[in-house]
Chain A
Amino acid sequence: MISKQKITSFDALIIGGGIAGGEAALNIANTGYKVLLIEKDLSIGGKMILLSKVFPTLDCAACITTPKVSEISRHPNITLFTSCEVSKINKIDENNFEATIIKKPRYVVIEDCTACQLCEQACPVSVPDEYQFNLVGRKAAFIPFSIASPKAAAIDIENCILCGACEKVCPTNCIDFTQDTEEYQVHINTVILATGFKLFDPLLMPRYGYGLYKNVITSMQMERELAPTRPFNTILRPSDGKVPDKIAYVLCTGSRDASIGNPICSQICCMYSIKQSQLLMGALPMADVTIYYINIRSFGKGFEEFYQQAKGMGVNFVKGKIGKISEKENGNLILRYEDINENRVKEAEHDMVVLSVGVLPNQDATKLFKTDELKLDPYKFIHQVDSLLSPAKTSIDGVFVAGTASGPMDIPDSILFAGSASSEAISYLIQHK
């Protein structure tokens, strides 16, 4: 049930609180404009905040993201709405949009929560932790992850048994089960779409055995295993808790593959796999890491050197396309592949396989606009009407795009793109005031 109708106004609405949306919000807010930043998740930071390190510098992702999200959260010109979704946007006239925003209840008063985690300890429910990509459990009363922003508890109402144990131990009485869905009507002058991307679901490629073979994991699951806030004490196989010593990466899982509907390169998989391989060599010095690839695309600044560094560390690169993965009784995996250099089919045994899943468009933004059409490119990313001279412009005047909502790109490019989108939005605001 939707409880309230609230009307408010802002200069800019930014949809998506990942690294691109956050950067754009800060740029616009720093020039004095009032920004409403909408995030559908419980925390801002997007996918980047869940990474271990970034390529090619191997800087700690959390160390870069945490000050950013903290600045966003306490900026006087930024109003942050988490657990929110924009349901529609109408363009009334030039420089005048009306958005409807649905705010889902968190069942915790964020301002009163001290993140003491006593509610977590008291909660008797355990469910798979989506922020650890289901490798471990979490409680129904929980803080999403240790560097979440806002750092406040939330109640997973779908899995809550309403026992009230969390309320009994809460020292500030911040848990509030009377919260309801709220609806906001917001007037804004410009919109930035920073809705990010979706990761390819490897269940769509049953020949790789994801979901069936427990030691076939995704690159995001490996990212969590490598992070300081990891689910296990070290890198372990989910099937039996063994420390793996022969790990394979399967590049282009769900990218450059017309048979699954995504013929384009995801631009990040080669480099994040090379990054993870280097981190694995550090975490497990005795492990063999093999990367099966079609082509290594090390196109960015410092990328080729990073690739050569991985080779120098002993990462094995095999130019080959994996046809099928099968499982042995001991949980080890047999990879059947075409060795492109030798032009013959081979098999290799590994005890863990990481699928380097690709980037897919997030089409959520397309259905928001009721009065104007938001055009998409042939691959369903948001169409850039003038990609050379004005890359953030979309098919709707006053609506701009930032980051991976317009196509696959890495973190530095997303931040650069956010700078472009915020500059264009500021220019639009100045021109139409």
Chain B
Amino acid sequence: MEIEKGKTAKYLKEKREVAQEVKDKQKEFLKIKKAILDALKEDALTIDQLTQKLNMAKHEVVFYLMSLVKYGFVQTGDVDDMDEYFSYKLKNNG
């Protein structure tokens, strides 16, 4: 098969099958990402508020939310009066 530079993924796709588990995890990430970003559309929320809205375990919300901060979709907002919990809001990439 002729290999074109910049389009080599096709080459490996023919040689190697992507595991179903990997595909499932990617779909799950996209689903959670969408849910978090949708939840933050209206207002900045704390992890506790997001947990209630998304019906997810708190530690999972922390992991995915912090990943979205790292990827540049979400930014950290203000901390509460007790200096304990931050709120998080959508990043204005505009």
A positions within 8 Å CB-CB of B: 121, 124-128, 135-139, 157-164, 166-168, 170, 173, 175-178, 214, 231-234, 236, 238-243, 245, 286
Contact = CB atoms under 8 A, between A and B. Distances in A.
Interface of B: 3, 5-13, 16, 18, 22-23, 25-26, 29-30, 33, 46-48, 58-59, 61-67, 69-72, 76, 79, 83-86
A159 B22 contact: yes
Given A135-B66, A170-B6, A240 B11 contact: no
A160 B22 CA distance: 8
Contact of B11 (A139, A177, A245): A177
B11 A137 contact: no
Chain B at the A interface: SS class: helix
A178 B3 contact: yes
B12 A162 contact: yes
B48 A243 contact: no
B47 A240 contact: yes
A243 B29 contact: no
Given A136-B67, A178-B12, A233-B76, A238 B25 contact: no
A158 B65 CA distance: 24
Chain A at the B interface: SS class: loop
Contact of B6 (A128, A167, A231, A245): A167
A239 B59 contact: yes
A173 B83 CA distance: 47
A127 B25 contact: yes
B5 A173 contact: yes
B26 A164 contact: no
Nearest to A136: B66
A240 B86 CA distance: 11
A243 B84 contact: yes
B7 A167 contact: yes
25 contacts: A126-B67, A135-B63, A137-B67, A139-B71, A159-B22, A162-B9, A162-B13, A162-B16, A164-B9, A167-B8, A168-B6, A177-B11, A177-B12, A178-B12, A214-B59, A234-B86, A238-B59, A239-B59, A240-B48, A240-B59, A241-B85, A241-B86, A242-B85, A243-B85, A243-B86
Most buried by A among B9, B25, B72, B85: B9
A166 B22 CA distance: 17
Given A126-B67, A161-B22, A162-B12, A236 B62 contact: yes
A330 to B, nearest CB: 11
Contacts of B58: 239-241
Contacts of B26: 124-126, 161
Nearest to A239: B59
Given A159-B22, A170-B6, A177-B8, 11 more contacts: A128-B63, A137-B29, A157-B16, A161-B26, A163-B9, A164-B7, A167-B7, A173-B5, A214-B59, A233-B69, A243-B83
B80 to A, nearest CB: 10
